[in-house]
Amino acid sequence: MSIQDGSVNDLILMDKNYLHRIQLRKEIMKNHPEHVIAAEAVAKSAVNEFYTWLLGIYLPTRYPRMFQSKSIKGRVLYLHNISTNENLPLIPPENPLDSLQILGGLVDEDFLFLLPSDDGDGYTLKAFVTCFPNGFDTLKKLNLKLRDIHKPVPHYKEKLEKSMDRYFDKMKVGKFMRRANWAIQPNEQLFKVAGNHLYEGDNIPEEEFDINRMRLRVERQYLHRLPQSRALLFSFKTLLYTLPEIKNEGLAEDLVEAINGLRQGNAPGFHFYKRAAVWGEFVKAYLRS
């Protein structure tokens, strides 16, 4: 599963792109609301629990120069976002969709809430705010179990399903797990409901690429259990790098190795799924030039 222990300190990351990303996230939520935000009624307590903790405790403690709790007549009522000059209610709105919208425009992380499935077997996606999906439509994943969400992922059933189900069941409150995922895409588009993967039956398309427009897309993923609702929260931050940046950082050979690795080992289907048959040779030739 390629997972490592993470730290609560790194659950939410801030960087110099914060304001630009927040603006973009708000535009995407406005233009594609049905694809980026959804919540079943059953997820309301999990959404409220995370909202209350993030705005009331985490952000003003972890990033006190960006976020401050504000009192009115001696009662702490708002979180003040200094960068955007917004006051956000510390008590979550009545409708969880509104809470998710606030979360989506507050930090540059996407959030997916999973609850134990009704039949007691595994976990099911019940709410999300996902402005930057890596080539999938999150709405189509709502109410699916983890194993059905991952149906298009090659070798998932035989290599990942059992260990992931076990791992998710055992996940303890206070533990933070992290992993990374990567893709190569033709441009810097962050809201991508399709196009970063090939699925069974797809033909390998011919595409023209421009090295300066292509991006290495890296997702820094976290998973942790909320203490009260016991929901699992899957969150990720998306980073984009140009290929010249990778080369200048001295990482060209590492990326070539990762691309070659998609064909080798016990999961060769990833070469097709990640579209490496389309861009692989072109990118490798550049990295080695």
Cα separation values, 59 from 32, 41, 80, 149, 234, Å: 27, 26, 10, 30, 18
Using CB under 6 A as the binding rule, whether residue 242 contacts ligand HEM is answered as no
Minimum separation from the CB atom of position 106 to ligand HEM (A): 20
Nearer to ligand HEM, 79 or 142 (CB): 142
Q: Is 19 in the site for ligand HEM (CB under 6 A)?
A: no
Q: Per CB under 6 A, does 263 bind ligand HEM?
A: no
CB of 1 to ligand HEM, least distance (A): 4
The residue length of the chain stands at: 289
Residue with tokens 């427009």: 213
Enumerate residues 118-147 that contact ligand HEM by CB under 6 A: 125, 136, 141
Hey, which residues between 193 and 222 contact ligand HEM (CB under 6 A)?
A: 197
DSSP state of 26: H
Show the beta-strand stretches assigned E in 106-258.
110-116, 123-129, 176-185, 215-225, 232-242
Backbone angles phi, psi at 241, to 5 degrees: -130, 140
- Residue 72 vs residues 59, 68, 75, 204, 240: alpha-carbon distances, Å: 19, 13, 5, 60, 40
Among 39, 47, 59, 149, binds ligand HEM (CB under 6 A): 149
DSSP state of 202: -
Q: Which residue is listed with tokens 């069941």?
A: 169
CA atoms of 137 and 162, how far apart (whole Å):
25
**Angle formed by the axes of helices 252-261 and 276-288, to 10°?**
150
Q: Which stretch binds ligand HEM (CB under 6 A): 28-36, 179-187, 208-216, 275-283?
A: 179-187
What's the token pair of residue 184?
């190569």
| Chosen residue from 70, 150, 159, 284 binding ligand HEM by CB under 6 A | 150
Please list, in sequence order, all residues whose beta carbon lies within 8 angstroms of the beta carbon of residue 109, skipping any fewer than 6 positions away.
11, 12, 13, 235, 236, 237
- By CB under 6 A, name the one of 52, 84, 117, 181 that touches ligand HEM: 181
Distance CA 247, CA 230 (A): 43
- Find the part of the chain contacting ligand HEM (CB under 6 A) among 33-41, 87-95, 150-158, 184-192: 150-158
Residue of 39, 183, 216, 252 interacting with ligand HEM (CB under 6 A): 183
- At its nearest, how many Å lie between ligand HEM and the CB of residue 160? 6
Q: Which helix (H) or strand (E) holds 68?
A: strand 67-72
Does 234 bind ligand HEM (CB under 6 A)? Our answer is yes
The residues in 46-65 that bind ligand HEM, with binding defined as CB under 6 A, are none
For residue 161, the minimal CB distance to ligand HEM (Å) is 10
Residues 65-104 that bind ligand HEM (CB under 6 A): none
The 8-class DSSP code of residue 172 comes to: P
Nearer to ligand HEM, 63 or 273 (CB): 273
Map residues 270-289 to x or -, x wherever contact with ligand HEM holds by CB under 6 A. x---x---------------
Residues that bind ligand HEM (CB under 6 A): 1, 3, 112, 114, 125, 136, 141, 149-150, 152-153, 160, 164, 179, 181, 183, 197, 223, 234, 270, 274
